[in-house]
């Protein structure tokens, strides 16, 4: 059960991260951009690991440092 929730919680956390980072889009600031912020998995059998890569790009003018990531 928890293996199904983890990808959804991770996606939700990334959406919140992007919104928070977009607020800092002023000149001289890092700006994290995730093209596909949400990924919905199809039906998954219990005990099967699922993986999806979220690509984070820095479109700002300063270094982007991701210091901590937590699932939703």
Is position 72 within any domain? no
Spatial contact of 37 and 22, defined as CB atoms under 8 Å apart: no
Can you give the residue range of the structural domain that contains 18?
2-58
Angle at CA of residue 33, ends 17 and 26, nearest 5° = 85
Q: pLDDT tens digits, residue range 42-59? A: 898 999 998 888 899 999
Q: Is the pTM of this model over 0.85?
A: no
The first and second tokens of residue 24, run together, are 């800092």
Is position 52 within any domain? yes
Q: How many helices (H) and strands (E) does the chain have?
A: 1, 2
Q: pLDDT tens digits, residue range 9-68? A: 777 777 767 666 655 545 589 999 988 888 888 898 999 998 888 899 999 999 999 898
Is position 65 within any domain? no
Number of domains in the chain: 1
Is position 25 within any domain? yes
Is position 30 within any domain? yes
């Amino acid at each position: 059960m928890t293996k199904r929730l983890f990808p959804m919680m991770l996606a939700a956390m990334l959406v919140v991260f992007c919104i928070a980072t977009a607020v800092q889009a002023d000149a001289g600031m890092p700006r994290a951009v995730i093209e596909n912020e949400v990924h919905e998995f199809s039906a998954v059998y219990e005990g099967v690991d699922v993986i999806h890569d979220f690509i984070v790009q820095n479109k700002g003018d300063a270094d982007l440092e991701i210091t901590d990531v937590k699932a939703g």
